[in-house]
Amino acid sequence: MIAEDAGRDAILAEIGADEDMATKLDSYVRILEEWQQNLSLIGPGTMPHIWQRHIMDSAQLMPFIKPETGAIMDVGSGAGFPGLVLAILYGERLQRPIQLVESDGRKCRFLKAVANETGANVRVTHKRIEDLIANWPATITARAVAPLDKLLKWTSKQHHPGLTCVFMKGKKATEELTKLENYQKIQPSLRINTYASITHPDGVVVRLSGFQKTSHSSDKQLKPQTKSRLKGRSQPNHWKKKTASNKGNK
């Protein structure tokens, strides 16, 4: 677990950011602080811990995503977490821009302002998730957007066998995952893996794969079941090694 009071330098060291990445992330944080005064982009209480709660929280998805494999779509991007952070950190590894999908025009303008300042390889799309045409992304990411069943319904046009979804969830993850029991009856090939967040004790990274392309599956009602899929969750080896070395920073 990364300490909540971990500051800029500790986080940059943790994610292995070079000088160029650090400069771009500094610009990102500066612009966010400026826009936050007139537009609620993040919770005010998280501002003092922005590097741990937002930058590091987004960066922890890197072990789950290989940008070389195809397009990345970040839905409900808001202030750009995790999509914009990932674009800065992946840099030239990206084969194409990360698509940031956001329905709020003001937040879209913010995302474009950061992209213009940092040169991040992103494409801002001002639309609702469910209104997008099929883009066949390799990966879809989302953070604090909606419950898992709604996310799967809203992104149903994007589902195909090669898709992986990486969603960041909070303390209601167990309840949300339980609802997916019924979804698996519709798509039995769906694979669900969960990993403990390295930035918050209640946080969970949910990785979904094994999608089938069906026209009606995600529109069916997802009824709650009684089983939990959070048992035995763990972190990927990439971060286990790093967090073990940071125990003294708690």
Q: Domain with 206 in it: what CATH number?
A: 3.40.50.150
Question: Residue 142 CA to chain centroid, in angstroms?
Answer: 4
Residues in the chain: 250
Is 69 inside a domain boundary? yes
- Long-range contacts made by residues 123-130, C-beta under 8 angstroms, separation at least 24? 123/97, 123/98, 123/99, 124/77, 124/100, 125/99, 125/100, 125/101, 126/102, 127/101, 127/103, 128/103, 128/154, 129/75, 129/76, 129/101, 129/103, 129/154, 129/155, 130/154, 130/155, 130/156, 130/157
Tell me which residue range forms the domain holding 83.
Answer: 8-235
**Closest to 219 measured CA to CA, from 160, 163, 149, 117:** 149
Quick check: is 242 in a domain? no
Residue 80, phi-psi category: left (phi > 0), alpha (psi -120 to 50), beta (remainder)? left
Q: Is 246 within a domain?
A: no
- Whether residue 58 lies inside any domain: the answer is yes
Ramachandran quadrant class, 223 (left: phi over 0; alpha: psi -120 to 50; beta: rest): beta
- Return d(Cα 196, Cα 203) in angstroms, integer: 6
Q: Is 245 contained in some domain?
A: no
Residue 1 included in any domain: no
Residue 28: closest CA among 9, 52, 55: 55
Per the structure, the count of domains in the chain is 1
Q: What pTM value is reported for the model?
A: 0.86
Give pLDDT, residue 245: 42
Is 173 a member of any domain?
yes
DSSP state of 80: T
41, 110 contact by CB (below 8 A): yes
- Give pLDDT tens digits along the chain (250 positions): 888 888 999 999 999 999 999 999 999 999 999 999 999 999 999 999 999 999 999 999 999 999 988 999 999 999 999 999 999 999 999 999 999 999 999 999 999 999 999 999 999 999 999 999 999 999 999 999 999 999 999 999 999 999 999 999 999 999 999 988 878 888 889 999 999 999 999 999 999 999 987 544 444 433 333 333 444 455 555 555 444 444 444 3
Asked if the structure places residue 240 within a domain, the reply is: no
Decide if 3 contacts 250 (C-beta within 8 A).
yes
